[in-house]
Structure 1
Amino acid sequence: MKKQLLTLALLYTLPLCAQQADYPVRGVDITAVKLTDSFWLPRIRVNHTVTIPASFARCESTGRVKNFEMAAAKEGKFCTKYPFDDTDIYKTIEGAAYSMAVTPDKKMDAYVDSLITIVAKAQEPDGYLYTARTIDPAHPHDWAGPERWVREHELSHELYNSGHMFEAASAHYLATGKRNFLDVALKNADLLVLTFGPGKRGVAPGHEVVEMGLVRLYRITGKKEYLQLARFFIDERGKRQYNPKSRNQWENGKYWQDQEPVVNQSEAVGHAVRAMYLYAAMADIAALDGDTAYLHAIDRIWDNMATKKIYVQGGIGAIPDGERFGENYELPNATAYNETCAAIGNAFWNVRMFQLHGDAKYVDMLEKVLYNGLISGVGLDGKSFFYTNAMQIRNGVHHHSMEPGRSGWFECSCCPTNMARFLPSLPGYIYAQKARDVYVNLFISSTANIQVEKQKVKIVQTNNYPWNGDLRFNIEPAAATEFTLKLRVPGWARQEAIPGGLYHFRDQDQHKVVIKVNGQPVDYQLEQGYAVIKRKWNKKDVVEMQLPMDTHEVLADNKIKDDIGKVAIQRGPLMYCAEWKDNNGRTSNLILPATLQPEERKDLLNGIVVLKGEGKSVNVDVQQQQVNTTSRQITLIPYYAWANRGEGEMNVWFPAKIADIDILAQ
């Protein structure tokens, strides 16, 4: 398979048509990074061998593929539930493209081409592609409206479908060099350029993502109309008339992030996935157009999210009604929503924020999301998923959830297909560059082949992260080369539980992270969260960094009412939880021990480090009507690994001490 020396995923290196302005920091392309680690590589392999094929199979069995076939034939009846079901095919193709870029697969390649042929036949002559209308234009989907785009702001998702198609077609072209899907996307994009814009039709897309997709096409083609249209869609926000005093999210416009012009916004609001895609697109345009108003807006919004609206495991979108952000500090545990797609969108946004600012706090946030509230969304088998990611389960019940446990698919199956496209792009998040500055952002065993001012440099990273904090980097330039190595010193290794300070470690003792070059400690400067080491590097240079893998009690800001008097547990980048399977069937009655000891368990949940200690359980003798506490060994597992052994109780937050007991009658 032909590999392009072009960017994949969301990290930009060498676009086909160079722009005058762009992100100051660029990601290293996924094709230049080969993973060797035991944590992420198995997951990416399972994604290739299990998740993507299962996703394609479910697109067929549920009728998603049939919708395109009927659209091509112009007969039949739309046979799935939502008009955005087309995107499940697009997102899975995108994931397959990323995966094939590093793992060539002739069978998958041929199957993807066959799907693209079906998609292309469903496209109308002028470029319109939306099976929910094309199958039977006289009787379109109820959400679609009688004519094209008349309900785009609310329910139709026509531009949302286009956006995911643009993302997928761009990935497929860059991974394979084939134009078969790209040409379909460009034809649709050209129709949008003819239809929308100043003096034409105006709309603030109801579900953002077309803006991101148009930027992707602009990077490939250099066609400025695509970038201009992306900006137009964003700038249309805040023009509709709403009741600003209403607390109803639809009546005040916040559900769509449409309550005021984006440059005036300062709070993360509304549907969390839509919000993430909007803020990511604003970051793109801030970089490409040098737009400081966009930049200042997303800086304000990020600060609001990080300091007031994020769960301790990186989840966002607390409120089930509208899959949305709540008010400041509104982070209930029993009903936490935390959609998997929102976690993925948050990763997209934080990567872009890092590329704009070069600040490690965005990578700290990315890491928190990656290792906790994002990969919790897919089971260890690669084919069972969470739509929502709970913070506590009592008596085996999700209080609001779409599923009692993990599911293989959903009627609204955006999360499984989003996971399929995200995971294979991960190698592109590990390293980044800015001229002679080389950033090491994520600690994933790998070999990276990069160029520093035309000089080839290989970096071999070896570790057993996230279980162990001993990191080693072999620096192997083709010839002696001067550049600055910037090693991220994670916030959690500097006593910061999460960027922004919404949560903090009870223990505030700081230990300076020791870094050695060729066995000798170096006196480094810490700049924006990075240890800066500038020198002339030679072929056999070795850098070592040891991160303190202490176990910490995490406390929440007292404004988060649900977490007052409670503690959560973090070790390294991982949040931990108690699950029923390890704790005599219950977790809601546990009081944690004063100390927890790590224990490696290669036999458990694909290999993890558990935390164990002698704590207590609160027990009720129903017959005697007595309450007592009993000493009990308590075992915690990484949050991401829960719900892989059946359904039952789970807790992230635990009472620091018993203050009172609620008496419940049955």
Structure 2
Amino acid sequence: MDTLISYIAGAQLPDGYLYTAWNLRAKDYSDAYCLYEKDRYDNLKDSHELYNAGHMYEAAVAHYQATGQTNFLDIATKNADHIYDLFGPGKREAVPGHQEIEIGLVKLYRVTRNPKYLEMAKLFLDRRGKGLGAGAPYSQDHKPVTEQEEAVGHAVRANYMYTAMTDIAALTGDQEYVRAIDKLWENVVNKKMYLTGGMGALYHGEAYGKNYELPNISYAETCASIAGVYWNHRMFLLHGDAKYIDVMERIMYNGLISGVSLDGTKFFYPNVLYADGKLDFNQGKPGRSEWFTCSCCPTNIVRFVSSVPGYLYATCGDQIYVNLYMDNTVNIELKKTDIRIEQQTDYPWNGTVRTIISPSRKTRFTVNFRIPGWTQGSPVPGDLYTYTNNTPAKPVITINGVQADVAVEKGYAKIDREWKKGDIVELEFLMEVKKVVANENVEADNGRIALEYGPLVYCLEEPDNGPVDHILLDKNANFKAHFQSDILGGVTVLEGDATIITLNENKVSGMSRPVKAIPYYAWNHRGDKSMVVWIPYRMQGVSIHP
């Protein structure tokens, strides 16, 4: 890292400017993203000067937090000071073409406490809707951000902007920002999000579609999913409600991690919910690719996966929030007391979570354990998706082996007590196969059903079932779950009966036989074959082909 940072420092110009595409290629490179016939920042609509700066700020903050060294942070603050001098209050009025610098500026503010970085982030947001970014919905410049109520335009740009807006709402208490970001979140989660947590339905413009426009040959860019995690995590930090972590978990376990192969060497740019094994949906390929000309998704996956531990826990005053469940240990300082927490679990393959809480001395505090929405009969917070077999089950909670009746607030089981070293809390979530239907306004999924188990969305894939276009699923079919260690790195599969449709001389016939569903994130590892998430359960009024 020190070597790489020295190269970055060497590329930075004396005034703080840092964008090597301009330094090296401006005079003889005609690509729209690097066309600077006059000077720097002359093509903010298309260039990524400010977008790249934001990612650098995030990297510099992460490096500083991990090492305590300021060599990278110094580069970032020098660049941020340069941008503030050019675009700050009373200076050049402009907005980034691709949002991201706002997130980075907020992170710089949080580690340096320099108020001008927070001021600059809000200023870039407040300038939208004035035509400075071409006034287009594509770049969310069609209205002031506090007046936007529907997610539109490029989904990655939008989600980065919504993330920054949530940061501003939390750090400044600006109620106009709070109202706006709440409405935007409700619009996405209630009308524009895929069952897998994917966001951005349209290939054209990599954009959000109309309300309920969710075609199964979806775009759902990996970067949009990652930005969706950032946004929902910040919504939790703003409001303290588990529903945001429910959405975050759905994205993480499904539409995000599907973007990288099990061995970490190949990637999806879009994440479709239907594939025929032939359609070149992934920038010219039907399957994952080792690289893309625009490399944002692979590199974004790299930084995201390494950041996952930071999403497991949160603290507020004398309270600890346990948001995600996986094997881990963590040391948290609360009320000047060191607290070690260890989780032991096979989640998401089963619903047993054992948590060992060990404060350095007896201390009273509250531990909030998230009760996932899928255990309470709700795949998502709104009515975009619902379970047909809706059987909410209160989790069994024991403290040191004694069953406890624990109050639940905002989706969290709150355990307030004096804790001592070695206290054990066990949670048992009921795991069963769930059948999901979409809101009737989602035309693409009318007459179709999807399968879930725990937080995981499942799909049918050709290697297990033959071509998926010929499968008709009984809405009342009984599916059983079992762990299969010899495929896809070891996964829980779902098995049940379905009808295989045959078309012969204009006659339709059907034969019942078993089918197998695998976790959606693990598809496309056994050849470029067909796959479907939303399976037809009736033929009348629908086509078997999505």
Q: State the TM-score bracket (shorter-chain normalisation).
A: over 0.9
CA drift of 1:241 comes to: 7.6
Question: TM-score, structure 1 length as denominator?
Answer: 0.79
Alignment of 1:382-401 (within 5 A): 382-398=264-280, 401=283
Report the counterpart of residue 151 of structure 1 in structure 2: 43
- Comparing 201-210 with 175-184, greater Cα deviation is found at 175-184
Q: Confirm whether residue 650 of structure 1 aligns to residue 541 of structure 2.
A: no
CA drift of 1:215 comes to: 1.3
Q: Confirm whether residue 608 of structure 1 aligns to residue 491 of structure 2.
A: yes
Match of 2:314 among 424, 429, 432: 432
Q: Confirm whether residue 183 of structure 1 aligns to residue 74 of structure 2.
A: yes
Report the counterpart of residue 285 of structure 1 in structure 2: 168
- Is the partner of 1:630 in helix, strand or coil? strand
Match of 1:549 among 414, 424, 431: 431
Counterpart of 1:237 in structure 2: which amino acid?
R
Question: TM-score, structure 2 length as denominator?
Answer: 0.96
**CA distance in structure 2 between the aligned counterparts of 1:460 and 1:377, rounded to whole angstroms:** 29
Instruction: Tell me if the contact between 1:320 and 1:400 (Cα under 8 Å) persists in the aligned partners.
Output: no
Q: Confirm whether residue 536 of structure 1 aligns to residue 418 of structure 2.
A: yes
Counterpart of 1:327 in structure 2: which amino acid?
K
**CA distance in structure 2 between the aligned counterparts of 1:222 and 1:141, rounded to whole angstroms:** 40
Match of 1:298 among 181, 189, 213: 181
Alignment of 1:139-538 (within 5 A): 139=28, 141-143=30-32, 144-146=35-37, 147-152=39-44, 154-240=45-131, 253-334=136-217, 336-398=218-280, 401-538=283-420
Counterpart of 1:253 in structure 2: which amino acid?
A
Report the counterpart of residue 522 of structure 2 in structure 1: 641
Higher RCO (Cα < 8 Å, 6 or more apart): 1
Counterpart of 1:185 in structure 2: which amino acid?
A
**CA distance in structure 2 between the aligned counterparts of 1:544 and 1:490, rounded to whole angstroms:** 15
**CA distance in structure 1 between the aligned counterparts of 2:120 and 2:313, rounded to whole angstroms:** 31
Compared CA separation, residues 396 and 137, structure 1 to 2 (3 A): closer
User: What RMSD in Å do the two structures reach over aligned CA positions?
Assistant: 1.8
1:539-589 deviation line (CA, Å, top 9, x unaligned): 2321111101111110100000011111000110000000111113x1121
Instruction: Tell me if the contact between 2:446 and 2:542 (Cα under 8 Å) persists in the aligned partners.
Output: no
Compared CA separation, residues 303 and 615, structure 1 to 2 (3 A): same
Q: Confirm whether residue 118 of structure 1 aligns to residue 7 of structure 2.
A: yes
Counterpart of 2:53 in structure 1: which amino acid?
S
**CA distance in structure 2 between the aligned counterparts of 1:639 and 1:551, rounded to whole angstroms:** 14
Counterpart of 2:36 in structure 1: which amino acid?
G
1:59-86 deviation line (CA, Å, top 9, x unaligned): xxxxxxxxxxxxxxxxxxxxxxxxxxxx
Instruction: Tell me if the contact between 1:388 and 1:402 (Cα under 8 Å) persists in the aligned partners.
Output: no
**CA distance in structure 1 between the aligned counterparts of 2:452 and 2:517, rounded to whole angstroms:** 10
**CA distance in structure 2 between the aligned counterparts of 1:214 and 1:264, rounded to whole angstroms:** 23
Compared CA separation, residues 140 and 220, structure 1 to 2 (3 A): farther
- Comparing 174-183 with 378-387, greater Cα deviation is found at 174-183
**CA distance in structure 2 between the aligned counterparts of 1:660 and 1:167, rounded to whole angstroms:** 50
**CA distance in structure 2 between the aligned counterparts of 1:465 and 1:256, rounded to whole angstroms:** 39
Compared CA separation, residues 457 and 662, structure 1 to 2 (3 A): closer
Unaligned runs of 5+ in 2: none
Instruction: Tell me if the contact between 2:109 and 2:115 (Cα under 8 Å) persists in the aligned partners.
Output: yes
1:165-192 deviation line (CA, Å, top 9, x unaligned): 1111221222223333222222211110
CA drift of 1:662 comes to: 5.7
CA drift of 1:142 comes to: 3.6
CA drift of 1:118 comes to: 2.2
Instruction: Tell me if the contact between 2:282 and 2:288 (Cα under 8 Å) persists in the aligned partners.
Output: no
Instruction: Tell me if the contact between 1:145 and 1:156 (Cα under 8 Å) persists in the aligned partners.
Output: no
Alignment of 1:45-84 (within 5 A): none
1:514-555 deviation line (CA, Å, top 9, x unaligned): 211122221111100011111111223211111011111101
1:231-280 deviation line (CA, Å, top 9, x unaligned): 111111011189xxxxxxx7x61111111111111111111111111111
Report the counterpart of residue 39 of structure 1 in structure 2: none
Instruction: Tell me if the contact between 1:267 and 1:304 (Cα under 8 Å) persists in the aligned partners.
Output: yes
- Is the partner of 1:322 in helix, strand or coil? helix
Counterpart of 1:196 in structure 2: which amino acid?
F
1:462-501 deviation line (CA, Å, top 9, x unaligned): 1110000011111212222111111110000000011222
CA drift of 1:292 comes to: 1.5
Report the counterpart of residue 72 of structure 1 in structure 2: none
1:313-342 deviation line (CA, Å, top 9, x unaligned): 1000001111010010011113x1000000
1:33-80 deviation line (CA, Å, top 9, x unaligned): xxxxxxxxxxxxxxxxxxxxxxxxxxxxxxxxxxxxxxxxxxxxxxxx
1:607-649 deviation line (CA, Å, top 9, x unaligned): 100001122211234xx55432122210000000001111010
CA drift of 1:399 comes to: 5.1
**CA distance in structure 1 between the aligned counterparts of 2:102 and 2:543, rounded to whole angstroms:** 50
Unaligned runs of 5+ in 1: 1-111, 243-249
Instruction: Tell me if the contact between 1:583 and 1:635 (Cα under 8 Å) persists in the aligned partners.
Output: yes
- Comparing 260-269 with 553-562, greater Cα deviation is found at 260-269
**CA distance in structure 2 between the aligned counterparts of 1:577 and 1:142, rounded to whole angstroms:** 40
**CA distance in structure 2 between the aligned counterparts of 1:172 and 1:399, rounded to whole angstroms:** 36
Compared CA separation, residues 498 and 136, structure 1 to 2 (3 A): closer
- Comparing 431-440 with 178-187, greater Cα deviation is found at 178-187
Counterpart of 1:171 in structure 2: which amino acid?
A
**CA distance in structure 1 between the aligned counterparts of 2:506 and 2:229, rounded to whole angstroms:** 49
Sequence identity, in percent?
A: 47
**CA distance in structure 1 between the aligned counterparts of 2:284 and 2:195, rounded to whole angstroms:** 22
- Comparing 180-189 with 205-214, greater Cα deviation is found at 180-189
